[in-house]
Structure 1
Amino acid sequence: MADTALRPLDSRHDLKIAFPVMQQLRPHLTSEADFMSRIERMRAGGYRLVGAFESSALVALAGYRLQENLIYGPFLYVDDLITDEAQRGGQWGSRLLRALERLARASGCARLVLDTGLANARAQRFYFREGLYTGALRFQKQFDTP
């Protein structure tokens, strides 16, 4: 693949071009302004975005944060991983995961952690192929928001 690159998505322009791709993963995000506002708040907690580009077009992205807890110690948590629907099959997700793994190791993390929906068999197959395994079952309870 000619002219490919992975780089952080830091600027407002980067967020604007990330929104349509992220929206494919998170369709409840209907407003670009709301998306940008959420990212700014999440950055305060260490959230970062990295994008995969081919010929200057964003084709995939990952949102992540470096964290530490009593279960895992230091780890890299992948919040978001999406390849543009038109670019699937180009190994972009694999490339991003490998880059995040390198970052995790360089940051002293012992593992990379992510969640995926129980019904998302396609993503589960992808993660198994990439060497990830199921290590926990997450429980949640949703509240009505005011």
Structure 2
Amino acid sequence: MLYHKEIQSEKELLEVYPIMKQLRPHLDEAAFLTLTDKARKSEHYKLFALYNDDVPVALAGFLPRVSLSQGIHVWVADLVTCEKHRSKGYGKRLLTAVEEWSREHGCGSVALSSGTGRRDAHRFYEEKMNYKKASYLYRKPLA
């Protein structure tokens, strides 16, 4: 049975960490716990997990935001399906849950960025989820 829920406890975070590690390999468990806690407190970060028969198979981390360019919206910061569970519709199901949460909380859109080399992800967003490429994301390290 498929269902999703918000991950809240440290125990739940540790349970889903191996999946997040596939998307964010630079994070060890301690950094994952610390950054998740800070993001929740400062930016109202939410982490949803999709479960198949009580086994986590996909994660979506997102933040409600307000900007002059996008109004009230949700920014998807993290979206990953476990490598051994890809191409089963889990990412679509979880991103749809994020969209539903966004509507219920008065958001007018959902936005995300995807690394330039992630062609399969781009195809998924554009062809399966009907997202439109809206901009380029630029980054400058400050250290």
TM, length-normalised to structure 2: 0.96
Counterpart position of 2:11: 13
Give how far 1:19 is off.
0.8
Matched, 1:122 2:120: yes
Equivalent of 1:41, from 38, 42, 48?
Answer: 38
Write the mapping of 1:63-82 to structure 2, written as runs, cut at 5 A: 63-82=61-80
Give how far 1:139 is off.
1.4
- Which whole-Å deviations, capped at 9, do the CAs of 1:9-65 have from their partners, x for residues lacking one? 001111001110000001111x21121011000101111100000111100010001
The share of aligned pairs that are identical, in percent, is: 32
Unaligned runs of 5+ in 2: none
Question: Aligned pair count?
Answer: 141
2:132 is aligned with what amino acid? Y
C-alpha separation between the residues in 2 aligned to 1:113 and 1:135?
9
The secondary structure found in structure 1 opposite 2:134 is coil
C-alpha separation between the residues in 1 aligned to 2:16 and 2:94?
15
- Which whole-Å deviations, capped at 9, do the CAs of 1:43-90 have from their partners, x for residues lacking one? 011111000001111000100011101111100110000000010111
TM, length-normalised to structure 1: 0.94
2:37 is aligned with what amino acid? E
Matched, 1:102 2:100: yes
Matched, 1:143 2:138: no
Unaligned runs of 5+ in 1: none
Counterpart position of 2:132: 133
**Structure 1 residue ranges (4+ consecutive) displaced by more than 4 angstroms after TM superposition:** none
1:105 is aligned with what amino acid? R
